[in-house]
Amino acid sequence: MVLSQHQQRRRVQFYETDLAGIVHFSWYFRYMEEAEHALWRAAGLSVAPRGSDIGWARVSAACDFHRPLRFEDEFDVTIRVAVVTHKTIQYACDMTRGDTKIAAGTMTVICVRVRPGEPMEAIDIPREIATRLQPIVDADERRG
């Protein structure tokens, strides 16, 4: 299946909170990654199939935090494929709870070959992956 985005609901776990009583900011990056991998599964793919020598290294990650999350809060994580180049994929991610904007982030990954004892080497994204993860086209762009 060709996919451009994926949404999933998530509940805050106790161990994700810190002494301030809210989710520790490092968890938002894991929430984004969970959604990324769920998007791949929904597209019939895995970021790490057993025995594969292809991996995905993070190039960058960023997140703006708008409202805190607390224990047992349910929230939605929506991830979109924003840009695909020969070797990289950029995702954009929104976290919301009802109408409340919780956080918004981006992540860029690069396709790498991973061989035991060798440094990672950037490679072109395999065709069977590139054809299934298509960047979102904005309505404005489509009209243009």
Sole window of 1-9, 21-29, 77-85, 124-132 interacting with a second copy (rule: CB under 8 A): 21-29
The DSSP element (H or E) to which 42 belongs, if any, is helix 26-42
Query: For residues 51-70, which are near a second copy according to CB under 8 A?
Result: 51, 55, 57-65, 68, 70
User: What is the number of other CB atoms lying within 10 angstroms of the CB of residue 97?
Assistant: 16
| Smallest distance, a second copy to C-beta of residue 40, A | 10
**82 touches a second copy by CB under 8 A:** no
Q: Interface with a second copy includes 25 (CB under 8 A)?
A: yes
CA distance 102 to 100: 6
| 19 binding a second copy? (CB under 8 A) | yes
Distances (CA, A) of 84 to 18, 81, 130, 131: 36, 7, 8, 10
Q: Up-side HSE of residue 104: CA atoms within 13 Å toward CB?
A: 5
Interface residue list for a second copy (CB under 8 A): 13-15, 17-22, 24-27, 29-30, 33-34, 37, 41, 46-48, 50-51, 55, 57-65, 68, 70-72, 114, 116-117, 120
